[in-house]
Amino acid sequence: LYTDGLVERRTEDIDIGLTRLARSLGAHREAGPEDLADALLTDLLPPTGNADDTALVVIRL
């Protein structure tokens, strides 16, 4: 589960952010929930910081 701040950027189409999310999930698919959450935040949030609030929950079933 995540809020729009993880994938949306005002200067790009939402599909770009969703593709970035899918690639990151694929690259880290073997990680446990905590490590996956850390990797997603590192991969998806801009290094200069995010102007939008971001929340992320990772649960492995």
Q: Tell me how far the alpha carbon of residue 51 is from its chain's centroid.
A: 15
Q: Output the pTM of the full model.
A: 0.86
| Contact yes or no for 6/54 (Cβ under 8 A) | yes
pLDDT digits (tens, 9 = 90+) for 5-58: 999 988 899 999 999 999 999 999 999 999 999 999 999 998 887 778 899 999
Q: pLDDT at position 22, please?
A: 98
Band (4; pLDDT cuts 50, 70, 90): very high
Domain ranges of the chain: 1-61
Residue 49 vs residues 6, 9, 28, 35, 54: alpha-carbon distances, Å: 11, 12, 22, 20, 11
| Contact yes or no for 54/17 (Cβ under 8 A) | no
